[in-house]
Amino acid sequence: MVNRGSSSHYRTSLTGRFLSRKSTPFAITFQIFSIFAFSIFVFFVYTRNSLEDEHVQPFLNKNSQSHQDKTADLPTHGKSDEQLWNAPFNYNLHPCIKPTAKYKAAVGSERYITVRSNGGLNQMRTGISDMVAVARIMNATLVIPQLDKRSFWHDSSVFSDIFDELHFIETLKKDIRIVKQLPKELETAPRARKHFTSWSSVGYYEDMTQLWKDYQVLHVAKSDSRLANNDLPLDIQRLRCRALYQALRFAPPIENLGKKLVERLRSRGERYIALHLRYEKDMLSFTGCTYGLIDAESEELRIMRENTNHWKVKRINSTEQRAGGYCPLTPKEVGIFLRALGYPPSTLIYIAAGEIYGGDTHLLELKSRFPNIVFKETLATQKELKAFANHASQSAALDYIISIESDVFVPSYSGNMARAVEGHRRFLGYRKTISPDRKGLVEVFDMLESGQLRETALSQIVQRMHENRQGAPRKRKGPLPGIRGRGRFRTEESFYENPYPECICTSKRHFQSQMYS
């Protein structure tokens, strides 16, 4: 422990010795300036992590034997309950999604937008929120969107099966007009069919209003990522948040069962981790990640990828994917990771996922470290889940509710659900979300596997690696450096992953009290 009193005394005596010598006025001035500059430097180093920056460089270099020698004998560092479970300091930030004073209420429009949402549950949710904003920009009436029935899950659910349709319409009535279906006289009318450009600006959609000269109905073939993440008017960004976090409430049967399952988890233990274990067959096939699988399983995934027409990339080097941090953590790796963070074996873990590839064969390594693992199938009765059978999006909505309400959320991969849950938890007050540094962890796991790293050093390394990856407030990340053109938008952090600062605010009074208290 650093003794701040003795350190201060040392600095004072050191300064005294410097100034007590007979020196020219210039030398004294130079010495004082040097001490002042050094103090400022120390101050900034000490305070630079007050707001979280989650872009952390890898802690280990496989070629650095000297670093390995220094860390090999470090003890395992335990953590208190508060450190393990408490949410990060949120600077009194809170949701702020009300329209500004200049925002005008919606007026009725006889121009209509129909939408075919694409993707899984959360891809559709964020896409629908974008379409709400697009309808506002284009001064159009939005027809209740059609949901994706052609994706991997082949879910036949309609909008009202998953979302509270009346609540959706009523909540947004001051923003846009929403109808359940087109007027009969327009059902056979010619439609403009558009694939809107991804990550487009308000100006792009204002230009699209020229379509109203020739058409009364505009059909949008895809809804995901149609709006830019940044540089949009504040009222449009807040409308996206109102749509996602308020209007798109799940249908009552989903909401009610989700709340029951959360209560049952709480009855088993006061706190729980929601682990989004992205280890389903489709994910492993799509990413080409086969680490830890037997040859027959790897071949099965390759064949699936070859036979899925809309997956463009067919040949994937699994080793390169994993080394780059592009693979989901395996169940075994997740178990090692959580133990290294300090969570005890008794920790209650809810698995928010579809069917885990390989079943118990691959889950065994996780269960051996954390036997207190539950799924929705073990929390709910068969009767309760009967209505959700063969409806993957409805089942995913249960996982979403349980993940939002968890004490800690840990995604094994940064997919659509992980990003949506993290953003929602930020919006609700920065509930703790631990985002694994997959690229850094691969280095650590490989060194552990090869015997280059001892388990006694693992805990401290992993904890240091993730000090600034626990969901604390920070501004949204921009595009990666060096990328030009529209490709840069793909590298930006999603608006829905981190809706700060447009939808999350703090009062000036609180900020000043924190600064001067």
> For the segment 69-89, what is each residue's pLDDT rounded down to a tens digit?
433 333 345 689 999 999 999
pLDDT tier at 29 (50, 70, 90 boundaries)? low
Q: Does domain 252-505 correspond to CATH entry 3.40.50.11350? A: yes
Contacts of 53 (CB under 8 A, 6+ apart): 468, 474
Contacts of 218 (CB under 8 A, 6+ apart): 111, 112, 113, 114, 138, 140, 191, 192, 193, 194, 208, 211
| Topology given in CATH for the domain delimited by 112-246 | Rossmann fold (3.40.50)
- Higher pLDDT, residue 75 or 212: 212
Instruction: Delimit the CATH 3.40.50.11340 region(s) of the chain.
Output: 112-246
pLDDT digits (tens, 9 = 90+) for 125-149: 999 999 999 999 999 999 999 998 8
pLDDT at residue number 28: 57
pLDDT at residue number 310: 84
Model's pTM, two decimal places? Answer: 0.83
pLDDT digits (tens, 9 = 90+) for 284-328: 999 999 999 999 999 999 999 999 988 999 999 999 999 999 999
Mean of pLDDT over the chain: 86
235 in Cβ contact with 207 (< 8 Å): no
143 in Cβ contact with 112 (< 8 Å): yes
213 in Cβ contact with 102 (< 8 Å): no
Give me the helices (H) in 278-317, please. Answer: 281-287, 295-307
157 in Cβ contact with 393 (< 8 Å): yes
pLDDT tier at 250 (50, 70, 90 boundaries)? very high
Give the residue from 175, 185, 162, 99 showing the smallest Cα distance to 131: 175
pLDDT at residue number 401: 98
The CA distance from 448 to 444, in Å, is: 6
479 in Cβ contact with 56 (< 8 Å): no
The CA distance from 406 to 431, in Å, is: 8
pLDDT at residue number 270: 84
440 in Cβ contact with 448 (< 8 Å): no
Q: How many residues in the chain?
A: 517
| Of the candidate ranges 41-45, 186-190, 287-291, 458-462, the one whose mean pLDDT is the lowest | 41-45
Residue written as tokens 């049967």? 253
Instruction: Delimit the CATH 3.40.50.11350 region(s) of the chain.
Output: 252-505
The CA distance from 248 to 128, in Å, is: 9
465-488 mean pLDDT: 92
| Of the candidate ranges 35-49, 232-246, 356-370, 398-412, the one whose mean pLDDT is the lowest | 35-49
pLDDT at residue number 269: 80
Give the residue from 261, 242, 292, 229 showing the smallest Cα distance to 419: 229
pLDDT tier at 3 (50, 70, 90 boundaries)? very low
pLDDT at residue number 84: 96
pLDDT at residue number 6: 40
Q: Is 372 helix (H, G, I), strand (E, B) or coil?
A: coil
pLDDT reading at 24 higher than 70: no
Query: What share of the chain has pLDDT > 90, as a percent?
Result: 76
C-alpha 218: how far from its chain's center? 32
pLDDT at residue number 161: 97
In order, the DSSP letters of 46-108 are HHTTSS-------S--TT-HHHHHHHTTPPP----HHHHHSPPP-TT-EE--PPPTT------
Q: Is 381 helix (H, G, I), strand (E, B) or coil?
A: coil
